[in-house]
Chains A and B, each alone.
Chain A
Amino acid sequence: MSKDWEPSILGICCNWCAYAGADMAGVSRMQYPPNVEIIRVMCSGRIDPAFILRAFRLGADGVLVAGCHEADCHYVSGNQSARRRVEALADVLDTVGLGRDRLRLRWISANEGALFAEGIRDFVETLKKLGPSPIEAPKLAKGVTTRTQGGDVFAGGRSTRNLSRGELHEGGGSPLRESELASESDPSVNQVDFQALVAETGVLNCLECGKCTASCPVARRDETFSPRRTIEKALEGLAEDIETDRLLWSCLTCRTCEQRCPSGVSYSEFVRGARAEAKRLGQQGRTSHSGANHDLMRLQAAPKLKPNRMAAYEGLKVKEKAGKDDWLYFAGCAPYYQALYSELPVQVGNIPRDSVALLNRAGIVPVVMAAERCCGHDLLWNGDVEDFAALARVSAEAIKATGARKIVTSCPECYRTLAVDFKEHAGLDLEVKHISEVLAADAGALGLSGTGEVVTVQDACRLGRQMGVYDPPRELLAAAGAQVAEMAHTRGDALCCGVSAWVSCGQCSKSMQVARLKEAAATGASTLVTPCLKCSIHLTCASSGELPVPRQEVDVKIMDLTAYLARAAGLTVAAEEPEPAMAAASDKGDA
């Protein structure tokens, strides 16, 4: 730490109380360190976790969230939302290795200037003890800065901050880097790449039969969306048309079209490539949840960051270094999503624990990495290739350092990414398997006892259509004595959960989710078992929200495969049923 290092703090203050309090401090000429830059929002309830994560990703050492005292919110309960979010985020920060102490929540009223000044002084002290954030501010192109400059930030209570509002609000990617600006000025590069993309993804074989569009669950719900038409444009060389069209971000890359295309056109890979091109052209793209998930991934690319994920494995048998035949268990984002989506009745936090418990039962003592990072799948499929590659390289080094030669993962996206994309972008070429494959190889060893239930299975797009794994989850459920009832769309024809890589979520997603839940409920199954935590989250989101159909039509419990198996193996005490919080309020029948 250099001697003259000063922590930089982003303060996000509500208009009515905290911001006025800060103003009061300024007007009253109260002394407090100039380390904070302030953004004003109308209500602390408007503070999206994305704002906070983005601030950290851009190098902030601390973030202060400040609003009205409880019961004083100008919008009744906005500050309570803020509290819930900050508390959830504090857990995320602990796990990811930043530590909850870098995030503060303060209630400050309009006349509490002194309290504001004192709060900042205290926060600066704390941060000085913690030292600089392990995440460095990205190196930026000339004229674009993100790091607070100190000194002149406060003049009469007005912020002249550089961290532009736009960056926090837009759902998009990282600010432009120099290399990106350079390639933008040479349009020919783009054309060449585009032609290569067209050739590589089989677009030239298209017969224009329209089967893709007719198969696409998005096109079924959005008339303006047609993969066939995009392919047609691609054949006409209309690269820019495609790359600047916001519909490029509507595709779920679910591969239903591809599964059915007679001509081997790989539309999802085409979209992935076109998104990367679009990002290079400076397009913002789209993200759900204001990009919070993507920033959480981006910030993990910082090599100095030391996540700590060991808490999940307490009391289980795990290793740090691999012997010749040892599996490395890769858990994925489960703990983060459990925290980030804790307002929904999601149940994904225990996936790592249940997975390792099941592996132990199968006689496998896996290697786990305390500092495991996200696989970056969502960055890659959102077109942020450089961000993905940076993250993948750090992860690949860590994986290599364990000495493991094979990886087992409970997440279909990690599976695809580690098996396919790490090879290309991070030079990691190991055997990768989904946990269902590894467990199904010796299901007898798991000591599963008959549940006797009728269940149905979601075929996650990454696991099924991308990696071709359909049977192992079914075999395991059968071994657990469950009777698997198939939905109307199953295996390669399965309906996607409606959101992929957190790119877009809207009416179309909700409609797909409801359709899927209806199919699940129609089988008569009590439980919809999913091998993918994202499917689980998205479907849970739909089923716990307002429904366009009577609740009984979608009434099915959603459970992760590992949770189901762990329960059948007697490895978990039956978790309490999450109360569907909105159930009573939103039962609106056919409305």
Chain B
Amino acid sequence: MSAANEVMVIGGGVCGIQAALDLADKGFQVRMIEREPTIGGRMAILDKVFPTNDCSICILAPKMIMCYNNPNIDVVTWAEVQKVEGKAGDFTVTVLKKPRYVKEEECTGCGDCIEVCTLKDEFPNKWNANLGMRGAVFMPFLQAVPRVAIVDDEKCLTLTKQKCKMPCVRACKRKALDFKMKPETVKYNVGAVIVATGLDDYDPSEITEYGYGRFTNVVRAMEYERLINASGPTGGHVHRFNDHERPKRMGFIQCVGARDLRVDHPYCCSVCCMYATKDAMLAREHYPDIESFIFYTDLRAFGKGMDEYIRRGREEYGIKYIRGKPGEVTEDPETKNLFLWYEDATDGGIKSLEVDFLVLATAFIPFEGVENLAASLGIELDEYKFMKSRDPLLQPLDSTREGILVAGTCQGPMDVTDSVEQGGAAANRAAEIIAQACGAAKTSKKSATRSA
């Protein structure tokens, strides 16, 4: 197969999946490189998604499976891009495949090894926002794709100190575990690269006035998504961490670490006003008597259906929106309830609102390690470490290096709809780049004049 026919998609979130599927439909070969053991990205661990309030994994899982099973797509998980050489139409990409210690072809995802692991449920699971536990051999979540276990080589007793009776090996009927696996370096020849490495959510511990990490019942939105999720650590029952009672009055604080010059995130994340409304709606759907108070700076609800969504939140779900950013949060040492101190812009004066649970809508930030990836790709980042577009207006998907495209939340905050659109658009752009490269090789005058 010639390089010209093949596209690499880095990152298997909803954006990367869309790009891969579209390219496969056009007859291109796709290599999807995902650095985690599963594809799906952020959306795989959200509960519901605005604006439709569809179950997130329910709409994403079919796409994940379609992607994995598509004969034109080779999904390479637990792998990282190390180097990109060559030029548009003819790149050589060096990829490091990390050992999973479980043979992907053999493992059926039965979970028998997981059940018997000596270290079962010893470590926080990051796919559960660290609220649920996992063992040394584990699967990130139920609907992981591929549905294959993985051994954590930093934790496993055999791999770290040769000190385990290896019940996992004995439990596995398919003899899928293989502790002799070694890292592997592979070179792929591709015509174009789509980067769709997504986002991370900001850890607000340094915003000390809101008490995250200090006060028992303060969580960030990502944690809340897991708590209210039926497959989350609490089976979808939101509860307080001190007394396991369900909350009755919830507070939300918006723009935490976003639009905030102190932490060098002056940008708006464009999604959190909406998802906070969603989160408060979900709470009401679970518990009809719950009250929610959203403290916002500005309600950013632009685009189709968004303002209407907020209005529904107010009118149908009884969400109370309060303009103002609380100055600080204090905790009642006994009840572990929280007091939100805010300036009442309508009446004047400072008020405090008592809530029993607090959700912080934290900023979107670029994925950890993004600088290394950008360096291997030879592309530039913007001042906040989002992937830089060559021209934000007219070539939003082109990176600063010809033939490499950037799509989805790796280039700036956006919601699922926009990420999917960008994935699709990036697929088209990749096809175009390859067509041009082929055209150029055939020395066609016409196509050579149009450069990306």
Contacts and interface: CB of A to CB of B under 8 A. Distances in A.
Interface string A206-245: 0111111111100110010010100000000000000000
B188 interface: no
Interface string B256-268: 0001111000000
Contacts, number: 70
Interface stretch (A72-80, A140-148, A259-267): A259-267
Nearest to A264: B261
B260 A210 contact: no
A223 to B, nearest CB: 5
B82 interface: no
B325 A211 contact: yes
Nearest to A213: B343
A343 B310 CA distance: 61
| Of listed A211, A212, A492, residue having the most chain B CB within 10 A | A211
A214 B330 contact: no
A228 B298 CA distance: 16
Contacts of B348: 223, 226
Contacts of B323: 210
B412 interface: no
Nearest to B344: A210
Contacts of A260: 209, 327-328
Contact of A264 (B262, B298, B327, B343): B262
Contacts of B260: 262
A255 B181 CA distance: 57
A491 interface: yes
A493 interface: yes
A491 B342 CA distance: 21
B349 interface: yes
B350 A209 contact: no
A214 B343 contact: yes
Given A260-B209, A492-B208, A214 B328 contact: yes
Contacts of B343: 210-211, 213-214, 219, 226, 228
A80 B375 CA distance: 78
A228 B326 CA distance: 13
Given A226-B343, A262-B255, A488-B330, A214 B262 contact: no
B400 interface: no
Judged by DSSP, the binding face of B is mixed
B350 to A, nearest CB: 5
Contacts of B330: 488
Interface residues of A, number: 26
A207 B259 contact: yes
Nearest to B263: A262
Contacts of A223: 348-350
Contact of A263 (B208, B261, B349): B261
A226 B326 CA distance: 14
Contacts of A205: 261
Contacts of A261: 262
B376 interface: no
A223 B349 CA distance: 5
B341 interface: yes
A257 B327 CA distance: 8
Nearest to A257: B327
Nearest to B326: A214
A171 B124 CA distance: 61
A232 B259 CA distance: 19
Contacts of B259: 207, 262-263
B94 interface: no
B328 A493 contact: yes
Contacts of B327: 210-216, 257, 260
B118 interface: no
A214 B208 contact: no
B361 to A, nearest CB: 13
A493 B210 CA distance: 11
A220 B341 contact: yes
Contact of B345 (A210, A219, A264, A493): A210
Interface in B291-346: 297-298, 323-328, 330, 341-343, 345
Interface in B199-213: 208-209
Nearest to B258: A262
Contacts of A220: 341, 350
A333 B298 CA distance: 47
Interface in A476-493: 488, 491-493
Given A209-B325, A210-B342, 19 more contacts: A205-B261, A207-B298, A210-B343, A211-B325, A213-B327, A213-B343, A214-B327, A215-B327, A215-B328, A219-B350, A220-B350, A223-B348, A223-B350, A228-B343, A260-B327, A262-B325, A263-B261, A491-B208, A493-B208
18 contacts: A205-B261, A207-B259, A207-B297, A207-B298, A209-B297, A210-B323, A210-B327, A211-B325, A211-B326, A211-B327, A213-B343, A213-B350, A214-B342, A216-B327, A226-B343, A228-B343, A262-B255, A264-B261
Interface of A: 205, 207-216, 219-220, 223, 226, 228, 257, 260-264, 488, 491-493
Interface of B: 208-209, 255, 259-262, 297-298, 323-328, 330, 341-343, 345, 348-350
